[in-house]
Chain A
Amino acid sequence: MAKTLFEKIWDKHIVKKIEGGPSVLYIDKHLIHEVTSPQAFAGIEKRGLQIFRPKQIVATADHNVPTLNQHLPIKEKLSRQQVDTLIKNCTNHHIELFGLGHPYQGIVHVIGPELGITQPGMTIVCGDSHTSTHGAFGAIAFGIGTSEVEMVFATQCLLQSKPKQMRININGSLKKGVLAKDIVLYILSKISASGATGYAVEYAGDTIRNLSMEGRMTVCNMSIEMGARCGLIAPDETTFKYIHGRAFAPNGEGWIKALQYWKTLYSDDNVVFDKEINIDAADISPMITYGTNPGMGIGVNENVPTANAMAESDRASFVKAMDYMGIAPGAAIKGQKVDYVFIGSCTNSRIEDLRLVSDFVKGKHKAPQVEVWIVPGSKQVEQQAIEEGIDKIFEEAGFQLRQPGCSACLGMNEDKIPAGKYCISTSNRNFEGRQGAGARTLLASPLSAAAAAITGYVTDVSKMLQ
């Protein structure tokens, strides 16, 4: 029977199916971090259980860590306690931890792929919704709650119902200045922040094929913002080349065997999806969000919609969002002033993102009133940026290169945007208060964010490219 990519991986991981209920899904890799794991460790300890497969777990500290002076003890007491609890739990339960100070430390969804831990055909979970990122390698990867973290600790399995199947095909050439981030913000603007709830989404088409692994990760990362259980892209030569030689990638005979399997991972030609969407890449412009969910996005040259253009049921939310954002319905978004620029997060903090930004800002300087934070996704990205001299370019541009962590994406550490201020951000969520109580977030690509850093307002980056 013809199968989708998702179904091929899913079927291979079903331990058993409960009559009239969910399936028992086996999990290959479990990534953990300090915020959503402590209660799960406490849970198994309370039950008197051991971690069933500690070697299939990798831990890092990312959500709560400072991005300056990481060599010093964490100042904030509760954050320090949480990070210390992770260290203690990993030591007690024999789990590999890439914590602060480790050369592999970084955002969990950046280090998994970067270290070759993330591989095609795997089932991967983490107590973080952006686990969908790893689907870029042709894996089933999704975020789970802490009770589920505890289940995987205890049994390496989860109870899951099979999601419906959606494919989004994107074909054609991207316009100048349009990046992977714009693709996914465009999809979100079309299908809304709940448009893929209940589905696993496969991204296909030649535009996706032509993306780098970094670009594919950006697209899959935001699958959760459409409500999707996960996002996937069939692995190909780009995928294999990316994985080859990484620290935890298979090698020798193992590599040959793995490759053989990975090459079978694609949706069969005659398979039928529950839903299929086609997008012409030429229709996508540099995107920016104006509201308080990631589906509220427009092309940078468009005007913010008005309440009248909304379905009646959406009007109250729209008015509430505009009020929070302090943006006038119907106004142009271009020219909106920005106070902060945040380039980072599991969506856009990889070396490719930093290279793009540094190429663009070389010889330019930020607008005087704007504060610019560049937060690399991992120690390895930070190191690479320094080796390539990217740090110097940022310094000359007045951009501050910080140390790795989730940072101002969710403002759990001290990297918060003050109330009422506008931040153009390469992260994934523009929810009320996400970047700090009262903060106003405009989501965009790293290039669009860099352009705003230079001009001080929302700018069409394509006009600034030669």
Chain B
Amino acid sequence: MSKNKINIIHSTFVPLNIENVDTDQIIPARFLKGTTRDGFGKNLFRDWRYENDDDSKPKKDFVLNQSEYKGQILVAGKNFGCGSSREHAAWAIHDAGFTAVVSSFFADIFKNNALNNGVLPVTVSEAFLKQIFEQANNAILTINLPDQTITIDATGEKESFEINNYKKECLLNGYDDIDYLLSIMNDIEIFESA
């Protein structure tokens, strides 16, 4: 089943300068009761966004409530996405309009979940992350997946990032892992009977 394709992302970003952002913050457990993949974006960072769980009382100091911050790229402190394996976290981020998350370190399961949902996790050095956080709120980042680079447009500072070739092809073409696995069913059945 094809997913959204990613090639070059050229966008302003939302800075979330917090470390160890766990998936319970990204989407609290009480919002995991859905049986479809839709609609999780409105509860993204729910308890950091609203006072007393009340939609009508946004917390002014939280970035997602500040109109000067917007864009397709979320930039966060190290160890982003730790904790629960809930894919709802990746769905919520995608549903809220993000196509890439930049951090100096990602938790394993979140990284896989993001990749499986057309959200590109971009791992940068601590120093580069710091430079991004120092940019003005309308600064633009360019994430070039074919070249595997991320650039701060205003300064021209550039860093390359890792992604395995298989996953890169999947994102560029909108393929998913099931398409691939179904294409090797014969190998799987041979493995089983061995």
Q: Which residues of A contact B (CB under 8 A)?
A: 15-16, 18-22, 24, 26, 35-36, 38-39, 42-43, 46-47, 49, 63-64, 78-79, 81-82, 85, 127-129, 131, 143-148, 150-151, 154-159, 161, 163, 193-194, 197-198, 224, 227, 229, 293, 313-314, 316-317, 320, 410-412, 419, 429, 431-434, 437-438
Q: What CA separation (Å) do A292 and B77 show in the bound complex?
A: 15
Are B82 and A227 interface neighbours, CB within 8 A? yes
B180 cross-chain contacts in A, Cβ below 8 A: 159
Interface status of B105 (Cβ within 8 A of chain A): yes
A429 cross-chain contacts in B, Cβ below 8 A: 22, 24, 83-84
Contacts A21-B165, A47-B1, A128-B85 given: A156-B177 contact, CB under 8 Å? Answer: no
B70 cross-chain contacts in A, Cβ below 8 A: none
- Shortest distance in angstroms between A433's beta carbon and chain B's nearest beta carbon? 5
Are B24 and A431 interface neighbours, CB within 8 A? yes
Are A42 and B79 interface neighbours, CB within 8 A? no
B17 cross-chain contacts in A, Cβ below 8 A: 316
Q: What CA separation (Å) do A275 and B45 show in the bound complex?
A: 35
Are A155 and B182 interface neighbours, CB within 8 A? yes
Interface status of B149 (Cβ within 8 A of chain A): no
Q: What CA separation (Å) do A167 and B32 show in the bound complex?
A: 35
Q: Which listed residue, B25, B85, B90, touches A129 by the CB 8 Å rule?
A: B85
Are B184 and A15 interface neighbours, CB within 8 A? yes
B187 cross-chain contacts in A, Cβ below 8 A: 15-16, 24
A316 cross-chain contacts in B, Cβ below 8 A: 17-19
Contacts A21-B164, A317-B18 given: A197-B77 contact, CB under 8 Å? Answer: no
Q: Residue on B with the closest CB to A37?
A: B35
Proximity bits, B1-41, A CB within 8 Å = 1, else 0? 10000000000000001111010110011101111110000
A-B contacts, 9 of them at CB < 8 A, read A24-B188, A42-B36, A129-B85, A146-B87, A148-B112, A155-B188, A194-B82, A412-B33, A431-B24
Interface status of B55 (Cβ within 8 A of chain A): no
A145 cross-chain contacts in B, Cβ below 8 A: 85-87, 90, 109, 112-113, 116
Are B53 and A437 interface neighbours, CB within 8 A? yes
A78 cross-chain contacts in B, Cβ below 8 A: 33-34
Interface status of B63 (Cβ within 8 A of chain A): no
Q: Residue on A with the closest CB to B19?
A: A317
Q: Using C-beta atoms within 8 Å of the partner chain, give the interface range for chain B.
A: 35 or more
Interface status of B176 (Cβ within 8 A of chain A): yes
Q: Which residues of B contact A (CB under 8 A)?
A: 1, 17-20, 22, 24-25, 28-30, 32-37, 47, 52-53, 77-79, 82-88, 90, 105, 107-109, 112-113, 116-117, 126, 164-167, 176-178, 180-182, 184-185, 187-188, 191-192
Are A432 and B24 interface neighbours, CB within 8 A? yes
9 pairs of A and B residues whose beta carbons are closest in the complex: A21-B166, A145-B87, A78-B33, A145-B113, A143-B85, A38-B35, A147-B116, A20-B165, A129-B85
- Shortest distance in angstroms between A71's beta carbon and chain B's nearest beta carbon? 22
- Shortest distance in angstroms between A86's beta carbon and chain B's nearest beta carbon? 9
B30 cross-chain contacts in A, Cβ below 8 A: 411-412
Q: Which listed residue, A63, A163, A193, A224, touches B20 by the CB 8 Å rule?
A: A193
Are B29 and A410 interface neighbours, CB within 8 A? yes
Q: What CA separation (Å) do A156 and B185 show in the bound complex?
A: 10
Are A47 and B33 interface neighbours, CB within 8 A? no
Contacts A85-B35, A434-B24 given: A47-B178 contact, CB under 8 Å? Answer: yes
- Shortest distance in angstroms between A110's beta carbon and chain B's nearest beta carbon? 18
Total A-B residue contacts, Cβ distance less than 8 Å: 184
Contacts A150-B178, A194-B107, A316-B18 given: A16-B184 contact, CB under 8 Å? Answer: yes
Are B176 and A24 interface neighbours, CB within 8 A? no
Q: What CA separation (Å) do A72 and B47 show in the bound complex?
A: 31
Q: Residue on B with the closest CB to A436?
A: B30
- Shortest distance in angstroms between A250's beta carbon and chain B's nearest beta carbon? 18
Q: What CA separation (Å) do A429 and B23 show in the bound complex?
A: 11
Are B33 and A81 interface neighbours, CB within 8 A? yes
Are B116 and A148 interface neighbours, CB within 8 A? yes
Q: What CA separation (Å) do A19 and B18 show in the bound complex?
A: 36
- Shortest distance in angstroms between B152's beta carbon and chain A's nearest beta carbon? 20
Q: Residue on B with the closest CB to A293?
A: B20
A159 cross-chain contacts in B, Cβ below 8 A: 166, 177, 180-181
- Shortest distance in angstroms between B194's beta carbon and chain A's nearest beta carbon? 10
Contacts A313-B19, A320-B18 given: A161-B164 contact, CB under 8 Å? Answer: yes
B85 cross-chain contacts in A, Cβ below 8 A: 36, 127-129, 131, 143-145
- Shortest distance in angstroms between A442's beta carbon and chain B's nearest beta carbon? 16
A419 cross-chain contacts in B, Cβ below 8 A: 52
- Shortest distance in angstroms between B119's beta carbon and chain A's nearest beta carbon? 12
B36 cross-chain contacts in A, Cβ below 8 A: 38-39, 42
Q: What CA separation (Å) do A231 and B167 show in the bound complex?
A: 26
B37 cross-chain contacts in A, Cβ below 8 A: 39, 146
Q: What CA separation (Å) do A39 and B37 show in the bound complex?
A: 6
Q: A161-B164, A317-B20 are in contact. List 7 more A-B contacts (CB 8 A).
A: A16-B184, A145-B113, A197-B79, A227-B107, A293-B22, A432-B47, A434-B29
Are B33 and A431 interface neighbours, CB within 8 A? no
Q: What CA separation (Å) do A149 and B192 show in the bound complex?
A: 19
Contacts A129-B109, A147-B176 given: A35-B32 contact, CB under 8 Å? Answer: yes
Are B29 and A412 interface neighbours, CB within 8 A? yes
Are B177 and A151 interface neighbours, CB within 8 A? yes
Q: Residue on B with the closest CB to A320?
A: B18
B28 cross-chain contacts in A, Cβ below 8 A: 433, 437
A144 cross-chain contacts in B, Cβ below 8 A: 85, 109, 112
Q: What CA separation (Å) do A306 and B126 show in the bound complex?
A: 23
